[in-house]
Amino acid sequence: MAQLFLGLDSSTQSLSAIVIDFAARRIAYEASLNFDQALPHYRTVNGVLPHPDPLVKHSPPQMWAEALDLMFAKMKKDGVPLRDIVAVSGSGQQHGSVYLKADGRLARQTSPIWMDSSTSSECEEIRQALGGIAAMAEATGSDAYERFTGPQIRKFYKTEPSAYAATAHIALVSSYLAGLLAGKIAPLDHGDGAGMNLMDIRRKQWHPAALAATAPDLAQKLPPLVPAWHVIGPVSRRFGLNENALALVWSGDNPCSVIGLGLIRPGLVAISLGTSDTYFGYMQECRVDTHGEGHVFGAPTGDYMSLICFKNGSLAREKVRDLYGLDWAGFNQAITRTPPGNNGAILLPWFEAEIVPRVNRPGIHRFDLDPNNAAANCRAVVEAQMMAMRLHSQWMNVRPSRILATGGASTNTTILQVMADVMNCPVARIEVAKSAALGAALRAAHGYYLHIGQPLAWSDIVAGFTNPIAGSEILPQHPEAYAALIEKYARCEQQQR
């Protein structure tokens, strides 16, 4: 009988499930439920409740819970042998919080999620109480951010004090769903706990000063923090699983993706090229970005991971392409026609306010770059983005040895060649549609074997599941072209911020 492991992923728009046959190194089943379509009575749009204030983004936690029931019903209907699943874990969109009363019912009908940016004043209050940006990052791994749970809890306490007082337990999306699966209040792992501005990033315990700066009596309302392999207990009987199956703690989607992409050694990095670009990598030692631009979370291996988000990703590449009336083929040809290093030309492509580097006023700035030279501008936007990634990931003090490229624009090999040259590192493509759910299933396998006294190395856990696309590797060809340019780029950034 095959031993199966289930990984669930509750993201902003959907709930996904992946069942792996671990011994066969095979994905045995995968499915996804779109919240808007499968549960229309919650009236969400892309998983979020419409709200007159564009800064406010909430979702109904009841919808996530109902989706879990639907997913198990679907698996049963699809013939998934639920009784052969030996352990279950999961992944949740990070930062979102669920407020429960002592009897387990909701103390707040909606949950603020990661897209919410309505807590700027609370961020400032917490940041000041902890001693500024660098002190905040040193303490919790990140500057105070609007979407992080601490500032969201503070806003709830300030605006709805009696509902806050009636809250006995605050969960994240991950621990809320883990609690339903285990049939009891679930702890939080060090990966998702780090996304709250409340956890001491080095000690991996609640940070007393951060708790005090956030809201009163918070320590009593938060669950314990545990490693990502913690077994909560047997699964609840209501899902039709084997009663001996283990329910593991869940984690955030980014920490789970670190495993789902096989980032288990120093130097392994993933870059996702989407509307925004994201750089995330494994770190053995805890280092923080004292500029407060990058984030540090616990990794499921017990080490650390970084996450750096660049707002102007595909957004900026498309704007430049459109500015010169090109399609992608034309954009790529333009890049190929120009030399690496672009004869010293620099573009700062901040079409929208940028997160990294922190730039509040949008603007496009050119240095030694003719605005009428279409080809040089196309190369300049991509080179600038890659130089920003190289420069603003230096605080990690880990030189990438292999980059895995994902996301829509990762099919563009011209862009990947610039990435390989600027980062001076081989780049390979990897499919990631389900990396968080896969990472959760692999975490379930890791936790299970540890629990039964047969621990496996992480390299044995991910083997066969996280291979890059065969033949997709691109090697650096002209890394020397960027030695001086990156210094010039840094000076231009300094000048314009």
List binders of ligand XUL among 344-373 (CB under 6 A).
Answer: none
Contacting range for ligand XUL; rule: CB under 6 A; set: 62-70, 90-98, 364-372, 467-475:
90-98
For residues 28 and 85, is the Cβ–Cβ distance under 8 A? no
* CB of residue 212 to ligand XUL, shortest distance in Å: 24
Tell me the C-alpha distance between 159 and 118, whole Å: 12
List binders of ligand XUL among 272-311 (CB under 6 A).
Answer: 307
Contacting range for ligand XUL; rule: CB under 6 A; set: 28-36, 53-61, 87-95, 161-169:
87-95
Classify the phi-psi angles of 208: left when phi > 0, otherwise alpha if psi is within -120 to 50, otherwise beta: alpha
* CB of residue 11 to ligand XUL, shortest distance in Å: 6
Sign of CA dihedral 331, 334, 338, 344: negative
* CB of residue 174 to ligand XUL, shortest distance in Å: 10
Q: Which of 5, 10, 12, 230 binds ligand XUL (CB under 6 A)?
A: 12
Tell me the C-alpha distance between 278 and 270, whole Å: 8
- Determine, following the binding rule CB under 6 A, whether residue 94 of this chain makes contact with ligand XUL: yes
Output 47 or 349, the one with its CB closest to ligand XUL.
Answer: 47
Tell me the C-alpha distance between 326 and 378, whole Å: 10
For residues 9 and 440, is the Cβ–Cβ distance under 8 A? yes
Backbone angles phi, psi at 271, to 5 degrees: -125, 120
* CB of residue 297 to ligand XUL, shortest distance in Å: 8
- Determine, following the binding rule CB under 6 A, whether residue 99 of this chain makes contact with ligand XUL: no
Contacting range for ligand XUL; rule: CB under 6 A; set: 103-111, 252-260, 370-378, 408-416:
252-260
Residue 385 is encoded by which pair of tokens? 């983005």
Residue 407 is encoded by which pair of tokens? 């996301």
Q: What share of the chain is helix, strand, coil (3-state, %, to 5)?
A: 40, 20, 40
* CB of residue 194 to ligand XUL, shortest distance in Å: 10
Q: Which of 58, 95, 169, 379 binds ligand XUL (CB under 6 A)?
A: 95
Q: Which of 122, 143, 253, 383 binds ligand XUL (CB under 6 A)?
A: 253
Tell me the C-alpha distance between 306 and 135, whole Å: 18
- C-alpha 290: how far from chain center: 20
* Cα distance from N-terminal residue to C-terminal residue, the chain: 61
Contacting range for ligand XUL; rule: CB under 6 A; set: 59-67, 93-101, 322-330, 363-371:
93-101
Listed in order, strand segments (DSSP E) in 225-267 are: 225-226, 231-234, 246-248, 251-252
- Determine, following the binding rule CB under 6 A, whether residue 143 of this chain makes contact with ligand XUL: no
- Determine, following the binding rule CB under 6 A, whether residue 434 of this chain makes contact with ligand XUL: no
Contacting range for ligand XUL; rule: CB under 6 A; set: 55-63, 89-97, 208-216, 320-328:
89-97
- Determine, following the binding rule CB under 6 A, whether residue 114 of this chain makes contact with ligand XUL: yes
* CB of residue 286 to ligand XUL, shortest distance in Å: 17
For residues 214 and 168, is the Cβ–Cβ distance under 8 A? no
CA nearest 172: which of 255, 97, 113?
97
Question: What is the binding site for ligand XUL (CB under 6 A)?
Answer: 11-12, 93-95, 114, 147, 195, 252-254, 307
